Amino acid sequence: GQSLEQPSEVTAVEGAIVQINCTYQTSGFYGLSWYQQHDGGAPTFLSYNALDGLEETGRFSSFLSRSDSYGYLLLQELQMKDSASYFCAVRDGTGFQKLVFGTGTRLLVSP
Partner 1 sequence: DGGITQSPKYLFRKEGQNVTLSCEQNLNHDAMYWYRQDPGQGLRLIYYSQIVNDFQKGDIAEGYSVSREKKESFPLTVTSAQKNPTAFYLCATWDFSGANVLTFGAGSRLTVL
Site size for partner 1 (CB under 8 A): 24
By CB under 8 A, name the one of 41, 79, 80, 110 that touches partner 1: 41
3-class DSSP assignment, residue 73: strand
**For partner 1, which is the closer residue by CB, 16 or 45?**
45
**Alpha-carbon gap, residue 72 to 35, rounded angstroms:** 12
Give residues 44-63 in contact with partner 1 (rule: CB under 8 A).
44-45, 48, 50
Which residue type does 32 have?
A: L
Counting contacts by CB under 8 A, is residue 89 touching partner 1? yes
Binding positions for partner 1, rule: CB under 8 A: 30-31, 33, 35, 41-45, 48, 50, 87, 89-91, 97-104, 106
